[in-house]
Amino acid sequence: MSFIDKIRLSSIWEKEDEFTTSIRKLTGYKPKNIDYYKTAFTHKSESKLSDKGGFINYERLEFLGDSLLDASITSFLYHHLPNSKEGDLTQMRSKIVSREHLNEVGKDLDLVSLAKRPSSKRKFSYNAYGDLFEALIAAIYLDRGFDVMDKFVHKKLIGPYVDLDKLQGKISSYKSLFIEWCQKNHYDYAFDVFEDSGKDHEKHFGVKLSVNNEIISKGRSTSKKKAEEIACRRAYYSLQDKGMKL
């Protein structure tokens, strides 16, 4: 870019507000309708009613962005893994668009810094990084169409984060893998909650994982689902150490 071009671009940005400039830098283009992006970065606690009576926040855009990401990633996998079966492609897609993965992308892009903060003193949850990324995807789609959105996904998600060779060996759910192993070998398994402590917003659950009535691992987290996943992950590595393959 020439010196003259930089001067012209600088003069354009001076006419924009700070948020619009940030979106321009993030996406690489000037938004046609900045309202889509403002909505994408508005927390539900800051919601206002639209003319049609609906709440203006990122939740609806998050819903749309979730489906758009699935479509974009599905197309990518279909063309780059021509010999993979449907089930394998589904597993690969779930790994790429997992909440953990999207949170990582959203955090690296520092999306929370663009968000309209909650009125209360509560901070955004960690999952907000992924939520905002999905909402941003939807905003780009509504503002610029599928092709531009798809290019953004390739630039910000697929290019920097997706290594097909590594992902093909990554376990997306230890619980699913463990249950499949038990069913294949006709083992009985059970998850039993042994602890439920703390206040509602700080509850922790302890889960015992048993196979054929024998406890083989335990997990503890802020939800039963997470505790079960942790217990299965520990069981997986414990069995691997004993020479058993799941």
Give the model's pLDDT for residue 68. 98
Domain end position, chosen among 150, 167, 184:
167
Which one of the listed residues 62, 131, 134, 150 is annotated catalytic?
134
Query: Both 133 and 113 in a single domain?
Result: yes
148, part of any domain:
yes
Query: Both 197 and 98 in a single domain?
Result: no
DSSP per residue over the chain, as a string? --HHHHHHHHHHHHTS-HHHHHHHHHHSS--S-HHHHHHHTB-GGG-EE-TTS-EESHHHHHHHHHHHHHHHHHHHHHHH-TT--HHHHHHHHHHHT-HHHHHHHHHHTTGGGGSBPPSSSPPPPTTHHHHHHHHHHHHHHHHH-HHHHHHHHIIIIIHHH--HHHHTT--S-HHHHHHHHHHHTT--EEEEEEEEES-GGG-EEEEEEEETTEEEEEEEESSHHHHHHHHHHHHHHHHHHTT---
132, part of any domain:
yes
Separation of CA 70 from chain center: 11
Rounded Cα distance between 64 and 73, Å, is: 14
Q: Say what percent of the chain tops pLDDT 70.
A: 78
Return the closest-CA partner of residue 207 out of 234, 182, 188.
Answer: 234
Range of the domain at 182: 174-241
Looking at per-residue pLDDT, the higher value among 150 and 51 belongs to 150
Say how many C-beta atoms besides its own lie within 10 A of residue 112's C-beta: 17
Amino acid found at 132: L
Task: Give residue-wise pLDDT tens across range 132-184.
Answer: 999 999 999 999 999 999 999 999 999 999 988 777 666 778 888 889 889 98
Task: Give residue-wise pLDDT tens across range 188-204.
Answer: 999 999 877 655 556 78
Q: How many domains does the chain have?
A: 2
1, part of any domain:
no
Asked whether the predicted pLDDT for residue 6 surpasses 80, the reply is no
Query: Both 153 and 188 in a single domain?
Result: no
Query: Both 181 and 77 in a single domain?
Result: no
Query: Both 89 and 27 in a single domain?
Result: yes
Asked whether the predicted pLDDT for residue 7 surpasses 60, the reply is no
Q: Does 228 qualify as catalytic in the annotation?
A: no
246, part of any domain:
no
Amino acid found at 71: A
219, part of any domain:
yes
Q: What is the mean pLDDT of the chain?
A: 83
244 band by pLDDT with thresholds 50, 70 and 90 = low
Rounded to whole angstroms, what are the CA distances from 166 to 155, 169, 171? 19, 5, 10
**β-pair type (189-197, 55-56):** unpaired
Task: Give residue-wise pLDDT tens across range 93-116.
Answer: 988 998 888 999 999 999 999 987
For residues 15-35, average pLDDT: 90
57, part of any domain:
yes
Query: Both 158 and 184 in a single domain?
Result: no
Whether this prediction's pTM lies above 0.85 is answered by: no
Query: Both 155 and 195 in a single domain?
Result: no
Query: Both 148 and 193 in a single domain?
Result: no
2, part of any domain:
no
Which one of the listed residues 46, 59, 66, 195 is annotated catalytic?
66
Give the model's pLDDT for residue 8. 42
Q: Does 134 qualify as catalytic in the annotation?
A: yes
For residues 63-92, average pLDDT: 92
Domain end position, chosen among 124, 145, 167:
167
Rounded Cα distance between 71 and 80, Å, is: 14
151 φ, ψ (degrees, to nearest 5): -65, -40
122 band by pLDDT with thresholds 50, 70 and 90 = low
Query: Both 208 and 228 in a single domain?
Result: yes
Query: Both 204 and 138 in a single domain?
Result: no
Query: Both 162 and 100 in a single domain?
Result: yes
3 band by pLDDT with thresholds 50, 70 and 90 = very low
